[in-house]
Amino acid sequence: MPNTMDLLSQALQKQRAAAWAKELNLSSSAITQARKRGRLSPVLAGHFAMKLGENPEHWIAVAALEAEPESELLTRLLANANNWRKR
């Protein structure tokens, strides 16, 4: 399953982090902090998805799953994530 860092990489191929920060009205360190954490927040993932023509609901869900602590339920959800319907 693709993760939000894949979405961020796609966004950064389109324009630099500073340009995204300005366009999305973010602090200059927001994207740097996301890289350090290894994930995007659901809101940021949704905004990048919209700007890139991707399905924002899908990316918001992926970001929400990435933010969850490890659990048996999360493991089962991730195992079935490839069956999610993408629009």
Summary count for the chain: helices (H), strands (E): 6, 0
What is the structure's pLDDT at 54? 95
Report pLDDT for 8.
Answer: 96
Paired tokens of 36: 């350090």
Report yes or no on whether pTM surpasses 0.85: no
The pLDDT, as a whole number, for residue 39 is 94
**Torsion over CA of 28, 29, 34 and 35, rounded to 10 degrees?**
100
In terms of phi and psi (left: phi > 0; alpha: psi -120 to 50; beta: otherwise), the region of 70 is: beta
pLDDT score recorded for residue 71 = 72
pLDDT per residue of the chain (87 residues) written in tens, 0 to 9: 589 999 999 999 999 999 999 999 999 899 999 999 999 999 999 999 999 999 999 999 889 888 877 777 767 776 776 665 554
